[in-house]
């Protein structure tokens, strides 16, 4: 595994290895000594969880982190993404982590020799988010075969929906979708669309999504309260969920829009567990792409 653009770069065996590695990493905290490797983080879109968890993962692996400031870089002078990344490669970075608004931006980087880890590309893919979601589901149910995951919300504009739908189906899960018809996408849903009231009674995992207003053309506008009542996970709907069903959300959460504020930290919510798992998964991914041996690197948590 030399890079991670989409989960198609990985075999199911490699995905299993990364999840197993991430689970083992929960027993460790920091690197015994620096790895003397440098990773550059290039975030062309705002980010809290993904950016900070990559930085924490790099710190805990003992890596050096190069913080790339898009606003003060030569990108503002018209430098191409390829030339930016090639520069970072030439000055000594061993890998780059990139979030970019352009879908499949990595296709422009074929001449780059160092690993490229995709931290989200437009409405395309978000492989490390899917891996942390898989880890969270695996920790809850142990297997994926037969688990019913309902992805709810702005499906058309969500890279999380696209990536999760593809990999969950490959792993044997049943995947359904719920949300406004205008935001469905047949390429993703493949016709398996249910109402939110059907979803809450059938799902083992309710995966709620934020409305991606930054990717909308303005033709479909929902008032927050109206959306919550028609398509959201309300307090009343949560009561009808299966006893062992859980709630996931990639965050940031728009409270009282996609789900009631009281549900963000309710007993069945795994939203903050996902964030914790994000560091573990990103440590595992970086260790794989940089060929860092865990038995030589980490200090056990007492």
Residues making up the annotated binding site are 49-50, 77, 99, 126, 129, 159, 210, 251-252
Nearest to 282 by CA among 82, 109, 47, 105: 47
Q: Which residue has the tokens 């990717």?
A: 215
Six token digits for residue 238: 């949560």
Annotated binding site for L-aspartate: 77, 159, 210
Torsion of CA 292, 297, 301, 302, to 10 degrees: 150
Report whether the peptide linkage leading into residue 252 is cis, meaning its omega lies within 30 degrees of zero. Answer: yes
Say how many C-beta atoms besides its own lie within 10 A of residue 62's C-beta.
18
CB 38 within 8 A of CB 63: yes
Residue 6 in contact with residue 125, Cβ under 8 Å? yes
The pair of structure tokens assigned to 244 is: 């062992």
- The DSSP call for residue 251 is S
Count CA atoms closer than 13 A to 51's CA, side-chain side. 15
**Annotated binding residues for carbamoyl phosphate:** 49-50, 99, 126, 129, 251-252
Locate all alpha helices (DSSP H) within the chain, ordered by sequence: 12-25, 49-60, 81-90, 127-141, 159-170, 186-189, 196-202, 224-231, 235-238, 271-290
């Amino acid at each position: 595994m030399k890079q991670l653009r989409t989960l198609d770069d990985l075999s199911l065996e490699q995905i299993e290895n990364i999840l197993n590695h991430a689970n083992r990493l929960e027993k460790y905290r920091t690197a015994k000594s620096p790895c003397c490797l440098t990773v550059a983080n290039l975030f062309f879109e705002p980010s809290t969880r993904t950016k900070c968890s990559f930085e924490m993962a790099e710190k805990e692996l003992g890596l050096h982190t190069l913080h790339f400031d898009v606003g003060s870089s030569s990108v503002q002078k018209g430098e191409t993404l390829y030339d930016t990344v090639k520069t970072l490669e030439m000055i000594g970075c061993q890998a780059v982590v990139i979030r970019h608004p352009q879908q499949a931006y990595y296709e422009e980087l074929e001449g780059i020799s160092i690993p490229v880890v995709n931290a989200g590309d437009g409405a395309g893919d978000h492989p490390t988010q899917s891996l942390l979601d898989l880890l969270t589901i695996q920790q809850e149910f142990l297997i994926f075969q037969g688990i019913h995951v309902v992805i709810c919300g702005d499906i058309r504009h969500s890279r999380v929906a696209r990536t999760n739908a593809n990999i969950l189906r490959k792993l044997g899960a049943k995947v359904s979708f719920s949300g406004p018809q205008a935001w469905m996408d047949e390429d993703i849903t493949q016709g398996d669309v249910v109402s939110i009231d059907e979803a809450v009674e059938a799902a083992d995992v309710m995966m709620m999504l934020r409305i991606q207003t930054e990717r909308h053309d303005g033709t479909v506008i929902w008032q927050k309260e109206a959306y919550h009542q028609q398509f959201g996970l309300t307090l009343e709907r949560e009561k009808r969920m299966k006893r062992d069903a859980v709630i996931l959300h990639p965050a940031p959460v728009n409270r009282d829009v996609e789900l009631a504020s009281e549900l963000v930290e309710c007993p069945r919510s795994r939203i903050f567990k996902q964030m914790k798992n994000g560091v573990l998964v990103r440590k595992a991914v970086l260790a794989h792409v940089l060929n860092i041996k865990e038995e030589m690197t980490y200090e056990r948590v007492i």
